[in-house]
A = this chain, B = another copy of it.
Amino acid sequence: MGKETELKKADYQPIEWLDGKVRILDQTLLPREEVYLDLDDYRDVASAIRELKVRGAPIIGIAGAYGVALGARKINADNTDDFLKNLENIIDTIGATRPTARNLFFALERMKQATVKGKNVPDIKKSLVEEAVQIHREETDATHHLSLFGAELLKDGWTVLTHCNTGPLAASGYGTALGVIITAYRQGRKIKVLADETRPLLQGARLTTWELEKAGVPVTLITDSMAGYFMAKGGVDCVITGADRIAANGDTANKIGTYTLAVLAKENKIPFYIAAPVSTIDISLKTGEQIHIEERKAEEVTRFQSVTTAPEGTLAANPAFDVTPHQYITAIITDKGIIKESYLEGIKRVL
């Protein structure tokens, strides 16, 4: 990677391990306030994930791993059996926060396996901290690799449409979809971004604009309902989003509204890319139909922050994700390379 392609280190740290506590940037308060929270209890990490203070599939995995490491440190057990029983509860609590993002379960699985590295309780505790730090490092490196692979797909002068937030806030390092975009821009191509605001929680309006402005990439905010208008007008050269879980056949769960973008892209003959580390892939699921979609509370739809929009008592649905069938996806950009067309084989190859 030459000097000209190097990203400046972000002037914000979405997640950091500080010997015995994990520091997160509270994403619910952005862009208004930049508040860091120091958490030393795994239950606080679980709450932070549940309440989206830390969000984005890859970073949920990192936060979950640190949560386990924190919880493990405080287990008061003399023998490994008791210790592992307690640890199991901690892992279950963290795993119960958000069901869709694969990376969380990938990280928890690795943390479980890391327990065999220690011979006694103090040893295992140490191994768990090391494993969490290692997961953080690997996920960060993965964003560097996938960003460089993906940047090759973006041509000079392109307008790229994206959805939700997929920068360093969501994935550490460079980010996923946003990492690809920012990398192409830093490599000297004139890239412009159309950012969907991403209702209900407005991660696009609040976080993607904030990250792109820090990176110096020109961005125009639109409502989710405007994406089709700009595609039909010829104003979009490609769409890139992140992913929360990718099935063995390439079907991809991502933030609600992603499927709609994929259908619009197909109709308007625009490439539609997914960018995600391989830790997002779940080969235990044959197709996207098996992906569990988190249903969040109705209030996120009937209000935004302090503003209530609908009459009191209005029913609302709130599926947080949707599934884009693989046939709508032009390519999946991973840290192990770009997968095209025959996803079943391509996915096996990168894993």
**Residues in B whose Cβ lies below 8 Å from that of A10:** none
A304 B305 Cβ-Cβ under 8 A = yes
Residue of B nearest to A309 (CB): B205
Q: Does A198 contact B (CB under 8 A)?
A: yes
A319 B229 Cβ-Cβ under 8 A = yes
Q: Report how far A132 CA is from B34 CA in the complex, Å.
A: 56
A257 B199 Cβ-Cβ under 8 A = no
**Closest Cβ of chain B: how far from A324's Cβ, in Å?**
9
Interface string of A304-323 (1 = CB under 8 A from B): 11111111011111010011
Q: Does A188 contact B (CB under 8 A)?
A: no
**Residues in B whose Cβ lies below 8 Å from that of A186:** none
**Residues in B whose Cβ lies below 8 Å from that of A306:** 306-307
> A228 is contacted by which of B198, B257, B314 (Cβ under 8 Å)?
B257
**Closest Cβ of chain B: how far from A89's Cβ, in Å?**
34
Residue of B nearest to A202 (CB): B309
Interface string of A173-211 (1 = CB under 8 A from B): 000000000000000000000101111101001100110
Q: Does A80 contact B (CB under 8 A)?
A: no
Q: Does A225 contact B (CB under 8 A)?
A: yes
B257 A301 Cβ-Cβ under 8 A = no
> A225 is contacted by which of B199, B209, B218, B266 (Cβ under 8 Å)?
B199
Question: Which residues of chain A in 30-78 are interfacial with respect to chain B, using CB atoms and an 8 Å cutoff?
Answer: 31-32
Q: Report how far A28 CA is from B230 CA in the complex, Å.
A: 27
Q: Report how far A226 CA is from B255 CA in the complex, Å.
A: 10
> A322 is contacted by which of B206, B228, B260, B308 (Cβ under 8 Å)?
B228
**Residues in B whose Cβ lies below 8 Å from that of A259:** 228-229, 232
A301 B199 Cβ-Cβ under 8 A = no
Q: Does A267 contact B (CB under 8 A)?
A: yes
The residue in A199, A227, A305, A308 that gathers the most chain B C-beta atoms within 10 A of its C-beta is A199
**Residues in B whose Cβ lies below 8 Å from that of A31:** 310-311
B263 A301 Cβ-Cβ under 8 A = no
> A310 is contacted by which of B206, B229, B302 (Cβ under 8 Å)?
B206
**Residues in B whose Cβ lies below 8 Å from that of A267:** 263, 266-267
Q: A220-B317, A322-B232 are in contact. Are A256 and B206 (CB under 8 A)?
A: no
Q: Report how far A206 CA is from B264 CA in the complex, Å.
A: 27
**Closest Cβ of chain B: how far from A210's Cβ, in Å?**
5
Q: Does A344 contact B (CB under 8 A)?
A: no
Closest 4 CB pairs of A and B: A225-B257, A228-B260, A205-B309, A199-B223
Instruction: Give 28 pairs: A residue, B residue, CB < 8 Å, sorted on A.
Output: A32-B308, A194-B317, A197-B199, A197-B310, A199-B224, A200-B223, A206-B309, A206-B310, A210-B310, A213-B313, A220-B315, A220-B317, A221-B315, A221-B316, A221-B317, A222-B316, A223-B224, A223-B256, A223-B301, A225-B256, A226-B322, A228-B260, A229-B319, A260-B260, A304-B305, A305-B307, A306-B307, A307-B307
* A interface residue numbers (CB < 8 A to B): 31-32, 194, 196-200, 202, 205-206, 209-210, 213, 218-230, 232, 256-257, 259-260, 263-264, 266-267, 301-302, 304-311, 313-317, 319, 322-323
